[in-house]
Amino acid sequence: MRDTLARVAAGLVNLVLAVVGTLLGLRFLLKLFSANPDNGFVNWIYETSGEIIAPFRGIFTPANLDGAVIEFTTLFALLVYVLIGLLAYYLIDLFAPTETTVVRKKR
């Protein structure tokens, strides 16, 4: 039962990391290629991922290259969330019981 709980917890961490990573990756690429923020999809990505990077705003200044924006804050947020996910995996693995098999030799 606890092994199943650990797998479910690891699955949830994996799901959250996948969603956060996808949103931040799309945000970075859309900013890099100067996507039109008036487009509905682009605007949705910016608004949704904006909430995710909010704790990291103001740490780095974005670099502007002829209209393209390299948003270092997004990359930093992605790195931090991956590290948090790895820590969560470690803690799940640490506290989840492992099944051991005892093999007895016949004499």
pLDDT in tens, 45-95: 999 999 999 999 999 999 998 888 999 999 999 999 999 999 999 999 888
pLDDT at residue 102 tops 80: no
Tell me how far apart the alpha carbons of residues 45 and 30 are, in angstroms, rounded to a whole number. 9
Tell me how far apart the alpha carbons of residues 95 and 97 are, in angstroms, rounded to a whole number. 6
DSSP 54: G
If phi over 0 gives left and psi between -120 and 50 gives alpha, with beta otherwise, what is residue 39?
beta
pLDDT at residue 97 tops 80: no
pTM: 0.83
pLDDT in tens, 1-46: 567 888 899 999 999 999 999 999 999 999 999 999 999 999 999 9
